[in-house]
Structure 1
Amino acid sequence: MSDVWRPIKAALLQVHSLVGLVLALLWAVVGLTGATMAFEDEIEASLNSQMMRVEASAARRLTPDELIARLAAAGDFGKISAVTMVGDPSAATRIRFARSESGTRPSSVYVDPYDGHVLGSPRGEDFFATVRKLHRWLLLPGDGNGIGRKITGSAAICLIAMLITGLVLRWPRRARSVKTWLKPNLGLRGRGLHRSLHAVIGTWVLPVYLVMTLTGLWYSFEWYKAGANWLFARPQAAAAAMQSKPPRGGATAESKGETKTETKAEAKPLAFDHVWSAFLQQENNSYGRALMTLPAGAGTAVRVRSWPRDSTLESVRDEFRIDALTGRVISSDRYADKTFGERVLASVLDIHRGAILGWPGKLAFMLAAAIMPLFAVTGLLLYLSRRRHRRLARQPVGHLVPGE
Structure 2
Amino acid sequence: MTGFHIKPALLQIHSVLGLAAALVLASMGVTGAIMGFEDEIQAGLDASLAHVTARSDAPLAPAELVARLQADPDAGKVAAITLSRDPTAAVHIRFARGENGGRPSSVLVDPYDARVLGTPRGEAFFATVRRLHRWLLLPGDGNGAGRQITGATVLGLVILLITGLVLRWPRRAGSATSWLKPQLGLSGRGLHRSLHTVIGTWLLPVYLVMALTGLSYSYNWYKDGLTWLLAAAPPPMPKAPREGRSESRPEPKPMALDLVWATVLRETGDRFAAIQITLPAAGTTVRVRAWPREAHDGVRDEFRIEGATGRLQAAERYADKTAGERVLARILDIHRGSILGWPGQLVFMLAGALMPLFSVTGVLLYVSRRRLRRPPRPSPAIQLVPGE
TM-score between the two structures when normalised by the length of structure 2: 0.92
Contact kept? 2:70, 2:77, Cα under 8 Å:
no
Instruction: Give the distance between the partners of 1:63 and 1:257, measured in 2 at CA.
Output: 34
Contact kept? 1:33, 1:132, Cα under 8 Å:
yes
1:119-134 to structure 2, matched below 5 A, reads 119-134=117-132
1:47-66 to structure 2, matched below 5 A, reads 47-66=45-64
What residue number does 1:218 align with?
A: 216
CA offsets 1:298-336 (integer angstroms, 9 cap, x no match):
22111100001232x111100000011011111000000
Instruction: Give the distance between the partners of 2:311 and 2:243, measured in 1 at CA.
Output: 14
Unaligned runs of 5+ in 1: 241-253, 400-404
Instruction: Give the distance between the partners of 2:6 and 2:376, measured in 1 at CA.
Output: 23
What residue number does 2:300 align with?
A: 317
Matching residue within 32, 35, 38 for 1:37: 35
Instruction: Indicate how the Cα distance of structure 1 residues 90 and 106 shifts in structure 2: closer, same or farther if over 3 A, else same.
Output: same
CA offsets 1:263-309 (integer angstroms, 9 cap, x no match):
644x85x453222111111112442101111234x221111000012
Give the letter aligned to residue 267 of structure 2: Q
What residue number does 2:386 align with?
A: none
Instruction: Give the distance between the partners of 1:178 and 1:80, measured in 2 at CA.
Output: 59
Instruction: Give the distance between the partners of 1:158 and 1:263, measured in 2 at CA.
Output: 52
Instruction: Indicate how the Cα distance of structure 1 residues 330 and 357 shifts in structure 2: closer, same or farther if over 3 A, else same.
Output: same
1:5-404 to structure 2, matched below 5 A, reads 5-74=3-72, 76-175=74-173, 177-236=175-234, 256=240, 264-265=251-252, 270-296=255-281, 298-311=282-295, 313-391=296-374, 393-394=375-376, 396=378
Instruction: Give the distance between the partners of 2:306 and 2:283, measured in 1 at CA.
Output: 9
Instruction: Give the distance between the partners of 1:295 and 1:215, measured in 2 at CA.
Output: 28
Quote how far apart the aligned CAs of 1:398 are: 10
Give the letter aligned to residue 258 of structure 2: D
Q: What is the DSSP-based 3-state SS (H/G/I as helix, E as strand, rest coil) of the residue aligned with 1:325?
A: coil
Quote how far apart the aligned CAs of 1:177 are: 4.2
Instruction: Give the distance between the partners of 1:173 and 1:310, measured in 2 at CA.
Output: 47
Contact kept? 1:259, 1:299, Cα under 8 Å:
no
Give the letter aligned to residue 272 of structure 2: Y
TM-score between the two structures when normalised by the length of structure 1: 0.88
Q: What is the DSSP-based 3-state SS (H/G/I as helix, E as strand, rest coil) of the residue aligned with 2:333?
A: helix
Instruction: Indicate how the Cα distance of structure 1 residues 381 and 367 shifts in structure 2: closer, same or farther if over 3 A, else same.
Output: same
Contact kept? 2:170, 2:176, Cα under 8 Å:
no
The two structures, once aligned, show a CA RMSD in angstroms of 2.3
Quote how far apart the aligned CAs of 1:178 are: 4.0
Instruction: Indicate how the Cα distance of structure 1 residues 47 and 255 shifts in structure 2: closer, same or farther if over 3 A, else same.
Output: farther
Instruction: Give the distance between the partners of 2:69 and 2:55, measured in 1 at CA.
Output: 20
Instruction: Give the distance between the partners of 1:356 and 1:171, measured in 2 at CA.
Output: 30
Give the letter aligned to residue 269 of structure 2: N
What residue number does 1:248 align with?
A: none
Instruction: Give the distance between the partners of 2:160 and 2:290, measured in 1 at CA.
Output: 39
Q: What is the DSSP-based 3-state SS (H/G/I as helix, E as strand, rest coil) of the residue aligned with 1:140?
A: coil
Q: What is the DSSP-based 3-state SS (H/G/I as helix, E as strand, rest coil) of the residue aligned with 1:322?
A: strand
Give the letter aligned to residue 71 of structure 1: L
Contact kept? 1:172, 1:180, Cα under 8 Å:
no
Which shows bigger deviation, 352-361 or 72-81? 72-81
Instruction: Give the distance between the partners of 2:122 and 2:144, measured in 1 at CA.
Output: 25
Instruction: Give the distance between the partners of 1:262 and 1:349, measured in 2 at CA.
Output: 41
Quote how far apart the aligned CAs of 1:378 are: 0.3
Quote how far apart the aligned CAs of 1:76 are: 1.5
Instruction: Give the distance between the partners of 1:159 and 1:49, measured in 2 at CA.
Output: 38
Instruction: Indicate how the Cα distance of structure 1 residues 154 and 301 shifts in structure 2: closer, same or farther if over 3 A, else same.
Output: same
Quote how far apart the aligned CAs of 1:74 are: 4.4
Instruction: Give the distance between the partners of 1:302 and 1:203, measured in 2 at CA.
Output: 47
Give the letter aligned to residue 102 of structure 1: N
Quote how far apart the aligned CAs of 1:184 are: 0.4
Q: What is the DSSP-based 3-state SS (H/G/I as helix, E as strand, rest coil) of the residue aligned with 1:113?
A: coil
Give the letter aligned to residue 294 of structure 2: D
CA offsets 1:174-228 (integer angstroms, 9 cap, x no match):
3454422321011111111110100000001100000000000111111111111
What residue number does 1:246 align with?
A: none
Instruction: Give the distance between the partners of 2:155 and 2:63, measured in 1 at CA.
Output: 45
Instruction: Give the distance between the partners of 2:319 and 2:258, measured in 1 at CA.
Output: 26
Q: What is the DSSP-based 3-state SS (H/G/I as helix, E as strand, rest coil) of the residue aligned with 1:52?
A: coil
Quote how far apart the aligned CAs of 1:383 are: 0.6
Q: What is the DSSP-based 3-state SS (H/G/I as helix, E as strand, rest coil) of the residue aligned with 2:22?
A: helix
Which shows bigger deviation, 157-166 or 4-13? 4-13
Q: What is the DSSP-based 3-state SS (H/G/I as helix, E as strand, rest coil) of the residue aligned with 1:126?
A: helix
Instruction: Indicate how the Cα distance of structure 1 residues 232 and 171 shifts in structure 2: closer, same or farther if over 3 A, else same.
Output: same
Unaligned runs of 5+ in 2: 382-388
Instruction: Indicate how the Cα distance of structure 1 residues 366 and 307 shifts in structure 2: closer, same or farther if over 3 A, else same.
Output: same
